[in-house]
Amino acid sequence: MIYARISGIASYVPEDILDNDMLSKMVDTNDEWITTRVGIKQRRILKQEGAGSSFLGAKAVEKLLASTGTAPEEVELLICATSNPDYRFPSTGSVIAHECGLKNSYAYDIQAACAGFIVALEDAAAYVRSGLRKKVVVVAAEKMSSMVNYADRSTCPLFGDGAAAVLVEPTEERTGVIDAVFHVDGEGRDHLLMRAGGSVLPASHETVDAGDHYIFQDGRHVYKHAVTDMLESSLDICKRNNLSMDDVDYLVPHQANLRIIEAVSQRAGIAHEKVLVNIEHYGNTSAASIPLCLDEYKNKLKKGDKIILTAFGAGFTWGAMYLIWDI
């Protein structure tokens, strides 16, 4: 039987830092308020003019290829998870593939909001298991600052820019992506969305003046569903694979809000030291948050570690993945 292993990982964040003290000069907030409510101290912001999510993604993919000794021509498929595409079309994946010289690769985007990375990783694993592709790059690239209203104190402290990428390859060893569960419920649409800019409400002077091209979030509603849904999907993936939380080496939740992460881990009954967190330094980077966290802790992870990834995002869409580490 063929399994799909993660054979490499890399990430990229912009150099510019926007910390809480700087943010307090832009909007009515302060470090204590932000830290207490969401656990974020700073976030990275891509300020380079004319650079979008593809810039971040290409940087991560270039680092990935270099670190794994993979020639660009060897990559057969690139899947990009993003909620902040460079353009409505063409796909951001196609831009990244071109920038990185992936001449033999097909590329496309996946839009599953903050759950995008694990959804794209499941796609990559399916291609590899089936034998259709042998070297697949999954990249999550998010210029979140492009959709943040820095006059809205409820949302602007939350988000940061960043990208991370993994290489997925076949193996006969039972390792890599073992199982995943995903759910979607359109009831959540009105609680977390960008109202304008799509085909329902195309851009106009009115939509711009109304601020409808920024993130809208009903924080309380999102918090409740994020905790419940990430918890239930994490417990479900463990049950499907006969795992207890004692068997799990690490839980890597989407880095949306420290209070959400703590609530999920406490209710799941997993030890605090097994929960990987880096939200303090990067904020919520949407689809990029899980691989960015994995990359930051990669020197701590050991071959054979049993890892649960879980995410929740707009849609609502959510799920969990069981991964056996193999780097």
284 is catalytic: yes
Q: Measured between alpha carbons, how far is residue 73 from residues 70, 78, 90, 96, 127 in Å?
A: 8, 12, 21, 14, 18
214, 164, 279, 27 alpha-carbon torsion, rounded to 10°: -30
H or E stretch including 7?
Answer: strand 3-12
Active-site residue identified among 20, 84, 100, 114: 114
Contacts of 220 (CB under 8 A, 6+ apart): none
Contact 77, 131 (CB under 8 A): no
Active-site residue identified among 84, 191, 284, 293: 284
The amino acid at residue 200 is V
Contact 16, 46 (CB under 8 A): yes
Contact 70, 135 (CB under 8 A): yes
H helix intervals, 71-131: 92-99, 116-130
Active-site residue identified among 238, 254, 257, 281: 254
Task: Please give the structure tokens belonging to residue 165.
Answer: 């990428």
114 is catalytic: yes
299 is catalytic: no
Distance of CA 179 to the CA centre of its chain: 18
Residue 269, burial from CB neighbour count under 10 angstroms (0-12, 13-18, 19+)? exposed
Q: Measured between alpha carbons, how far is residue 39 from residues 33, 158, 245, 246, 301 in Å?
A: 9, 9, 24, 26, 24
Distance CA(99)–CA(97), nearest Å, equals 6
Active site residues: 114, 254, 284
